[in-house]
Amino acid sequence: MTDDRLDPIPPEADLALAWSPAKLRGPLTTAFQLDRRLARIVAHTTEPMLGQMRLAWWREALAKPPSERPRGDAVLDAIGVHWAGREAALIAMVDGWEVLVTAEQLGPLEVEAFGTQRAAFFNALHDDRSRVDHDRVVAAAFHWAIADAAAGVSDGSERALLIEAGLARAGAGGRLPCELRGLAVLDALALRALRRGGRPLMEGRGASLAALRAAIFLR
């Protein structure tokens, strides 16, 4: 199951990294690369059981101490460097992607589980643990997870379901923690993309301006 390839991360993720503090760039890059790897597994799964087996490999590897994990996988090795002690948040990401493999039909409950679990890693990246901050981070991360998925699906009804779920949380107020400025960028781009009908997050001339405003005002 090891793989020495690193999937390229999308341009909005690169922009989020540019607005993130140096201490978060390694963990964020690694999380984005794991997300791309899991997305690739799901996209190439034609038999649910085989997809589950490949995702289970990741779940089991992340549950082991770094010293006991297989060597040679570029993403798994990076996780050992940047996510030691915080792997539970990445296991949640695996669980989120597994929803798309096991669901016979995508419905509101599946969308909620996918978006929440896929994006759970953001709350493991900051130190402020107030209730307000937690809820704001969860909502922003959910927007990103759902908008990215909506831009990638070909089924119109599934896209509509994802858009509805993402916009249902659009009223979350308050500022994000300063160290999660990169997430503020993703949040703004995600909401813009959802309101445009599930378009790619960096599509259009207004994307860069939306990202800049979010980075400055953390909203």
Q: What residue spans define the domains of the chain?
A: 11-217
Confidence of residue 105 (pLDDT cuts 50, 70, 90): confident
Report pLDDT for 218.
Answer: 83
Report pLDDT for 172.
Answer: 67
Residue 127 amino acid letter: D
Residue 49 predicted with pLDDT over 90: yes
Q: What is the mean pLDDT of the chain?
A: 93
Residue 99 CA from chain centroid, whole number: 14
Kindly state the tokens that stand for 120.
């759970």
The answer to whether the beta carbons of residues 219 and 172 sit under 8 Å apart is: no
Q: How many CB atoms lie within 10 A of CB 27?
A: 21
How far apart CA 151 and CA 86 sit, in angstroms, is 29
CB contact set of 47 (below 8 Å; sequence gap of 6+): none
Question: pLDDT tens digits, residue range 63-90?
Answer: 999 999 999 999 999 999 999 999 999 9
Look at the block and give the residue holding tokens 């009804």.
157
Report pLDDT for 212.
Answer: 95
Q: What is the mean pLDDT of residues 136-158?
A: 95
